[in-house]
Structure 1
């Protein structure tokens, strides 16, 4: 099982602030690393390394997917980025300081909905009462069926 890094989130208000954080940590700011940072600031949703490497549908230049993954890992180690897993697809990446939402995901169509953590406090309380666990839904979202798939007669896996 993949677990999230236990690094405090680092807030960068823009790509240049993220670059300054990298330099302050003694990290080099390569063109590939800058492209990854710019990609994360260009989207307002979790994004896969493959989509970043592909240039965000023409928004940015394309880059090597292995380099993209290495750069995302470096940014995650610093606390600038975090990843989450949505269904059976590739990991998704978000800016850690800007992205404090938790997620629900449709296991049929792949739709992803972001929620403020307080919106899941009731679910967290139920999990705590049943198991003693303090649940988070930022690394692994709650999975089920979205309203559209449920209307089409789908059944969530038990």
Structure 2
């Protein structure tokens, strides 16, 4: 895809994309840590720029799962709603169809289109609720 748009497929770009694929849901800082295990000279600015490029190309997408950095994941994945545990920080996924009745109602009553791929619900996961944080 990069080459078809006149862009070079650099080792750094490959490493960043592979880190996102391997990590599933990852902040730029987590991607940076993973990439530096293979290529120590890659700086955080390169990670941010590469993630922005990969998102423009439609290879990754992001959502905000906290007040900090965005979390990236592969764009080819099915859309999903994120469940974020406030205790342990675990991120789980659920089928976006669970949100469909609310999204349809908001569209009808408010002319508001929900971007389901960016929905994150915060709470406490079953492990933490049971007193066993993961």
User: TM-score normalized by structure 1?
Assistant: 0.68
Deviates more, 1:124-133 or 1:68-77: 124-133
Q: How does 1:5-154 map to 2 (within 5 A)?
A: 21-43=1-23, 45-55=24-34, 58=37, 60-62=38-40, 63-125=42-104, 127-128=106-107, 131-150=110-129
- C-alpha displacement at 1:49, in angstroms? 1.1
- Could you give the per-residue CA deviations for residues 115-141 of structure 1, whole angstroms, max 9, x where no partner exists? 121122234345446644232342241
Alpha-carbon distance change, 133 to 100 in structure 1, aligned in 2, over 3 angstroms: same
- The DSSP-based 3-state class of the residue aligned with 2:61 is strand
Q: Confirm or deny: 8 A CA contact 2:63 2:71 kept in the other structure.
A: yes
Q: Following TM superposition, by how much is the alpha carbon of 1:99 offset from its aligned partner in structure 2, in angstroms? A: 4.3
Structure 1: gaps (5+ residues): 1-20, 153-158
Kindly state the Cα deviation for residue 30 of structure 1 after the two structures are TM-superposed: 1.7
The answer on whether the counterparts of 1:103 and 1:137 sit within 8 Å (CA) in structure 2 is no
Give the whole-Å Cα distance in 2 for the aligned partners of 1:143 and 1:88. Answer: 12
Number of residue equivalences: 130
Native 8 Å contact 2:79 2:116 kept in 1: no
The TM-score, its normalising length taken from structure 2, stands at 0.78
Give me the CA root mean square deviation.
Answer: 2.5
3-state SS, counterpart of residue 122 of structure 2: strand
